[in-house]
Amino acid sequence: MKLLTLLALTGAAQAHYHFPRLIINGEPEATDWTSVRMTKNYQSNAGVTSVSSPDMRCYQMRGASNTATVAAGDVLGFVAASAVTHFGPVQFYMAKVPEGADISTWDPAGNVWFKIGSITAVPPLGSSEATWPAYNKKSVNVTIPAAVPSGKYLVRVESIALHQAQSVGGAQIYLSCAQIEVTGGGNGKPGPLVAFPGAYQASDPGLLWSYYPVPTTYTAPGPAVWTG
């Protein structure tokens, strides 16, 4: 029994993941942590479990050396290393770097984030890939809204693992932030703007959620997706 338990725990640790590379125009970056800020879990792969922690912002250990160029309206991908091995929603946020600020050192604190994508549950609900379209994927994609103004942004990807979310603090959040420069943007006014931490509460129905008995609805946490 002890061996079985140990194997189960080891398997769980290996099953964690992180998002270390961008995919631009279908091309993954050559190396990890180039345009993506290195996260504290780059070795452990552990998720964030306190939504009130500043780690909810970028889970950052150090800044990124590069800023990737992405055209508004294009698809931006994040590689999941080695895959999104837990079921739950995957969401994307952007924050505009203020004029005059250095993107490589800017801390995206306060109400600066707007949601640009949510890959969430497709009914009927369960714990399968049919319910959760991002589950087991080796990369996840979002479209940079065509109306977003040109400029420098952080793009934050998060995967909310729900397999232990039946108790408060049980949801595991795997996230990272990429540095991009949007070209050919529009004149939209992105919003609503929210803060990390702050946007989520541990008791949000999208974070405190049990997959058994099988529920009929799932609502991902955070604001509505800004569609421009």
- Residues of the shown chain interacting with Cu ion in the complex, contacts defined by CB under 5 A: 15-16
**Least separation in angstroms between CB 15 and Cu ion:** 5
Nearest approach in angstroms of CB 170 to Cu ion is 12
How far is the C-alpha of 113 from the C-alpha of 53, rounded, in Å? 16
Query: Do 145 and 188 touch, CB atoms closer than 8 A?
Result: yes
- 16 or 152: CB nearest Cu ion: 16
- Residue 14: CB minimum distance to Cu ion, A: 8
d(CA 49, CA 161): 10
In whole angstroms, the minimum distance from the beta carbon of 164 to Cu ion comes to: 9
Q: Judged by CB, which is closer to Cu ion: 91, or 179?
A: 91
Choose between 15 and 147: whose C-beta lies nearer to Cu ion.
15
- Compute how many other C-beta atoms are within 10 angstroms of the C-beta atom of residue 7: 10
Under 8 Å between Cβ of 114 and 188: no
> Minimal distance in Å, beta carbon 12 to Cu ion?
6
Q: Which one, 13 or 214, has the nearer CB to Cu ion?
A: 13
CB of 88 or CB of 222, closer to Cu ion: 88
First to last CA, the chain: 55
Of 23 and 83, nearer to Cu ion (C-beta) is: 83
Surface-to-core class of residue 55, CB atoms within 10 Å of its CB (0-12 exposed, 13-18 middle, 19+ buried): buried
**Residue 47 Cβ vs Cu ion, minimum distance, rounded to whole Å:** 6
Q: What values do phi and psi take at 52, rounded to 5?
A: -95, 5
Side-by-side strand order, sheet with 113-119 = 68-71, 172-183, 151-161, 90-96, 113-119
